[in-house]
Amino acid sequence: MSSLQAHGQALRFTISPTVQVASVGLSALAVILASRQGQLSDISAFAAGSAVAGIASVVSGGGTSLLFVTGSPIERRAVRWVRWRMTAPVMVVSSFAADMVLSHAGGVSWYAMLFGSTAVILQSLAALEATALQRDHRMVRWGACVMTSRAVPVGMVLAGITYSLSMAIGPLLLLTLLVVAARGGRSADDDTPLHSTRHAVRLAYRPSFGALSILDATLIRAPFVVAPFVTDALTAGAFAALLTAQQSLSAVFTTSLYTIMTFRGGKLDPGASAFYRRLERIIVAMSVPVSLIAIAAGPFALQVFGLGSFADFGAIWAWISLSLPLVTLSRCFQYKSMSRRDESRAIFQLTFITAGVIAVSIAAWWSQSVVLLSTSTVVGEALGIASWLYLGLLRRRRRKGHMQNERNAGSTTGTQRFES
């Protein structure tokens, strides 16, 4: 490993987690402030709009973000071309149309849903610029852009501006800052030629990555979409606030695991491989006490969010907090499969997770139970972990059976030769 590579990896493992933790804190602070101001309906509508745009994003451009991280320069160029010229327009039309329909059916604010969709669309464009900065080891610029884009919405909420508008301004500011910060240093993919639109589309889409992205977005967004149909807008907003906080906390752990996956994509010496394995174990282990602390601090957390008067929200907070170690372990398994180029196993796992989340969400809608909806992540991730382990056991037995057959065949051949 060269000194430049070692320096880049050190930067990513010091600056990246620090920025991620601070970003999560600012996002949670914005939710808490808006919740205490009584903007629960606005939070619910924004979360639903974000969920719709998130699903539209992976349907129209599924897998392109993963390919931008792991692909060649010409594949990254193709992803950038497709994201700006095809995916973004499709997201705008499809998500805005869905927002108008769902806002009418669910009785939530249509403009807050539009702001939520706009935030996701801008975030999807900013993600490419952020990845390019990280690849070029310009971590300080990236961190400054992210922190500024998170701090400004918090100030806007403090000033009394609606949560949905404030959170839509954040990604717009982030995209603008990243584009400005990228000047003066261009990635290798910027000058890679593309021969035609068909050429760009063919390079940018990989079916296995697309399937992974669609499943991942569905299992994350489904509870937000279903919540307004399970209960009233205020309760749905309170649920969305707590679930957003949990997913932000989970992102601290899963982003670290994702970074390890990107390093495993290259050639590592045995010492580095052992280091990353130990680091994975530490990250997974740390999620357990954090989850227990969050559960124990449930009453205090509800008071901080201003949700102490809502019935059954103690149980909802406990179920949401319990999902943290399951999400962390599940993503550890998933990223390990992907780093080994075993996308089929990761797809198998995410299929079970998504099926569990959707099944529980449908049951919650049928029974009109927010508490049941809060268990969807726990049920889905537990099924995903079990499926990953089960598939590994089947493969191990298959390999042992194949090796035993080969030994038996060799023994039979040797006996026949001896007798002859």
Distance CA 150, CA 174 (A): 8
Between 418 and 153, name the one with better pLDDT.
153
Nearest by Cα to 277 from 294, 264, 292: 264
Report CA-CA distances (Å) from 89 to 68, 112, 177, 356: 19, 20, 22, 32
pLDDT band for position 118 (cuts 50, 70, 90):
very high
> pLDDT at residue 373 above 90?
yes
Domain that holds residue 122: 3-419
pLDDT band for position 21 (cuts 50, 70, 90):
confident
What mean pLDDT comes out for the span 227-233? Answer: 87
**Cut 0.85: pTM above it:** no
pLDDT band for position 366 (cuts 50, 70, 90):
very high
Mean pLDDT value across the chain: 81
pLDDT at 19: 82
pLDDT band for position 402 (cuts 50, 70, 90):
low
Number of residues in the chain: 420
In terms of C-beta density within 10 A (0-12 exposed, 13-18 middle, 19 or more buried), how is residue 401 classed? exposed
pLDDT band for position 401 (cuts 50, 70, 90):
low
Domain count, the chain: 1
> pLDDT at residue 326 above 90?
yes
User: Hey, what are 14's tokens?
Assistant: 């010091």
What mean pLDDT comes out for the span 399-420? Answer: 60
Distance CA 389, CA 382 (A): 11
Instruction: Report the alpha-carbon angle 67-98-101, nearest 5.
Output: 170
Distance CA 76, CA 69 (A): 8
Q: What is the pLDDT of residues 35-73, one digit of tens each?
A: 888 888 888 889 888 888 888 887 777 677 777 776 677
pLDDT at 418: 46
